[in-house]
Structure 1
């Protein structure tokens, strides 16, 4: 999707709100969003994994974003957010990125293209050593904040064919998948795994509202633009959804995606290491077992189960809530996940 010369990545639908309120960005179409639980309807408007991409034809571009204080009970998170600016595969200079957006008001991002080492980077890209074109500007939106695009100023053109990786990794899951507590947008395990695999990222993480819903299963199955999918299931429903209902939803999601994706790889994981393991909560084993058994019952080579404890074995890689991975934990998950994906999905 392109608006005012800027490509919107990981954005499925926009709505112009009028009266100076900017453009609302949604990671899923409205017909899907409104079929989800109420909290997820709000979380779909958060920026997890979303980017504004463009080629800068002049000296600089100025992107203006709006954020208004919202009722968090309706599904909106975060009192503040962080933007990052990348140029191709490379993080921007420290005077450009990261930039903080506090709750309420307007934020103006001034984006400039660095021409230092331009020929060297171009040569590396032409030799296949980089995944993104080094002239492509990428503004990463905050993971846990709803921001609205207000204005784009400057001479910009949309991304050209071939400037981003053709391969795509799609992820669906909880706040952990969305990048909660990752500190920076690029710090999520999903972003880091995609980078290690040389793929682009489609992030469908829903903080506190990953309810394994049929509408999301149908949507993921119908998308033809991903090559690998990672499904992180269970942590948001363990406190309220009965085991039988969870199993029914997991079975529907996996069967639906499997039936549409026999030439694509799906990696399904369960609850990562968390406080429930150290409290010896027997319920967590039952939820994990449902995911494991359902994957294995499909008997399909391209649907692979990976234990959440295997991906994050060390509780010291958690934040103090003993649930969300720390910055170190996010990178550990990414390393282990990318290794498993390569093991199964890439030719030997």
Structure 2
């Protein structure tokens, strides 16, 4: 794991070296970043959210150093699906003074295998490994190591060949975002190219990403976490997971959205707040959930999803993406009369019909790496434009 070096310096892993996490848990191995605080985690009963919030999407080590070599020991927990193709190891990406400077993976670690037919899981324990970066320029520089967005990552040890100090505050605005697996980064190339990470770099803002795979469900404890997190800009992408889970009907959805936004406004009364409706997802545009696995695809070695609801039941209040977009637009329009800093963005402006024809969703639900780039670039252009909701000077 550790390589021989005559001048290694081991720096304690502390909160002032991490950005993008809301809480840090001491474990027997080291430090586990969380994207929900302990109080919220104590109120959660869903294993999916427990996993998602522990995956450090947008979390990065950030420090200043003259180091030319950096080693980070971690204990990853990887996810596998029985019968599906193996998932690639999570990627660690290095930025030097804001520019990409390396990427690597950590093999080994724990593996959790999920049987999609039964929902049962099996844990195979493993050992820590090392993410290693060498050949860095020998000068004082800002160094960021973005942790894998799709692997639980316990931080064990940080070694460098020069002293480390926390990255100073550059005075950049903080953008706090909440959304589903697409915001979490499902199927992105790496942690710096999930669409929120890419958009934040293009816009020059600090990202706190509370995108939780399968778990953007209007939970009150998530709203309180958003409320209590310091931020200059806020966005919430709502809808697809509510349909995936067939979680509520229109009667419950509208008050839940109002309540979620009310809670955010308790902590951020005047900050720009952008409500984003779902991007295009053809299987659920007019067909309700729940979303199910496509076992015929699985038999061919492919992971894919399908809509299992009945379109006729929308008259009974079952939710589709079309219904949700219409309702979110109405909610924002009603509230905006008294909240001039509240804005709405139709998710199809980020990924719509023409995009789906060119870049279809490979598993019918999640965008691929090229689509993440497109969504991130479009969001940066729309939201951070001089006349956009996140225009400079509006925070």
- Map 1:1-348 to 2 at 5 A: 3=13, 7-18=17-28, 21-38=29-46, 39-68=48-77, 80-92=89-101, 96-104=102-110, 105-112=127-134, 114-115=136-137, 135-154=141-160, 155-162=162-169, 164-224=170-230, 226-239=231-244, 240-242=246-248, 243-276=250-283, 283-299=320-336, 300-313=339-352, 314-315=355-356, 316-341=358-383, 342=385, 343-344=387-388, 345-346=390-391
Secondary structure at 2:214's aligned position in 1?
A: coil
- Give CA-to-partner distance per residue, 1:224-272, whole Å, 9 cap, x none: 2x11112111111114222222222211111222344343111111111
Q: CA deviation at 1:330?
A: 1.4
Aligned mates of 2:33, 2:156 — CA distance in 1: 11
**Residue 300 (structure 2) aligns with:** none
TM-score by length of structure 2 reads 0.74
Partners of 2:345 and 2:157 lie apart in 1 by 43
**RMSD after superposition:** 2.8
TM-score (norm 1): 0.83
- 5+ unaligned residues in a row in structure 2: which ranges? 1-11, 111-126, 288-310, 315-319
User: C-alpha separation between the residues in 2 aligned to 1:279 and 1:297?
Assistant: 25
Q: Which has the larger radius of gyration?
A: 2
Q: Distance in 1 between matches of 2:227 and 2:391?
A: 21
Cα 1:330–1:71 shift into 2, 3 Å: closer
Aligned counterparts of 2:269 and 2:20: Cα–Cα separation in 1? 24
CA contact (8 A) 1:88 1:136 kept: yes
Q: CA, structure 1 residues 324+7, in 2 after alignment: closer, same or farther (shift >3 Å)?
A: same
Supply the distance in 2 between the matched residues of 1:303 and 1:278 (Cα, whole angstroms).
Answer: 25
Tell me if structure 2 keeps the 8 A contact 1:230–1:269: yes
How far off its partner does 1:211 sit? 0.9
Measure, in 2, the Cα distance between the counterparts of 1:330 and 1:271: 14
Structure 1 pair 273–185 and aligned structure 2 pair: CA distance change class (3 A): same
Superposition deviation, residue 30 in structure 1: 0.8
Q: Deviations over 1:257-302 (max 9, x none)?
A: 2344343111111111112367666622112222211111112221
Please state whether the residue corresponding to 1:28 is helix, strand or coil.
coil
- Residues 234 and 278 from structure 1, CA distance in 2 versus in 1: closer, same or farther, beyond 3 angstroms? closer
Instruction: Tell which deviates more after alignment, 50-59 or 40-49.
Output: 50-59
Structure 2 Cα separation of the partners of residues 68 and 188 of structure 1 = 20
CA separation of 1:5 and 1:115: change in aligned 2, threshold 3 A: farther
Distance 1:31 1:321, change over 3 A: same
Q: The residue matched to 1:114 in structure 2 has which SS?
A: coil
Q: Cα distance 1:85–1:6, how it changes in 2: closer, same or farther (>3 A)?
A: farther
Gaps of 5+ in 1: 119-133
